[in-house]
Amino acid sequence: MRKLIRWFSTLGLLLAAHVLDAQIDRITGKTFATRSEVLARHGMVCTSVPAATQVGLDILERGGSAVDAAIAANATLGLMEPVSNGIGGDLFAIVYSAKENKLYGINGSGRSPLGLSYEQMRAELAKLHRETIPPIGMLPISVPGTVDAWAELHKKFGKLKLSDDLAPAIRYAEEGFPVTELIAYYWSLGPRIYKGLPGAFLETYTLDGKGRTPAKRRHLQESGAGEKPLG
């Protein structure tokens, strides 16, 4: 019995140590969040890709508005993280105007395609033996609303030229950018998920048009020069 108690005690210590290791980057505060809050006096940008975050900060330093920074960062994400973002998607935004003490909102989600009628959709679903729209493929795609939403937001809140907001993403597309580990992983899943589906996924998002995707720590260029190792 004592051996069993010692065993459970040891197991408890190991589990506690594992939890502490998982929270090692958050010494104080709530344990469910592994990172401390970020504080700033003049502005803040948050994205899932550090390079895109830096693009937004650079726009703010140049005198751009929060909307300018958001557009620049969003465009950069569409290039660097195509597994999650892109100009072919939707956009939703809530903007607070301190000058007016007023909130503005925009729904940049696209409508269903004009050329796809309800009857056509039912017929396509019947071919798939489905009654609901599938989560992937061509049928769930709506008319892209992102770029139009950029334009509307910029018209109201932009301080720089829209071309200035998009310039960093264009530069990265021409000169190349490093592919991070997680994005490389999700990118590699794409060919398996979309293989056999209509559309030009392989031609657009793979290096050889057949299924080879960028590896981690590769320097990817959109101009057709392919990829090359960093360093």
Question: Using CA atoms, how far apart are residues 44 and 164, in angstroms rounded to an integer?
Answer: 19
Number of residues assigned to the chain: 231
Residues 165 and 211: beta-carbon distance below 8 Å: no
| Main-chain phi, psi angles of 218, to 5 degrees | -100, 150
Q: In angstroms, what is the C-alpha Rg of the chain?
A: 23
At 85 the pLDDT is: 83
The Cβ of residue 227 has, within 10 Å, a number of other Cβ atoms equal to 16
pLDDT score recorded for residue 230: 46
CB crowding 76-89: b at 16 or more within 10 Å, else e: bbbbbbbbebbebb
Q: Is 95 helix (H, G, I), strand (E, B) or coil?
A: strand
Model pTM score: 0.80
Name the stretches of the chain with pLDDT < 50. Answer: 4, 7-8, 11, 13-17, 20, 22-23, 223-225, 229-231
Per the CB < 8 A criterion, the answer to whether 187 and 218 are in contact is no
CA 191 from chain centre, in angstroms, equals 18
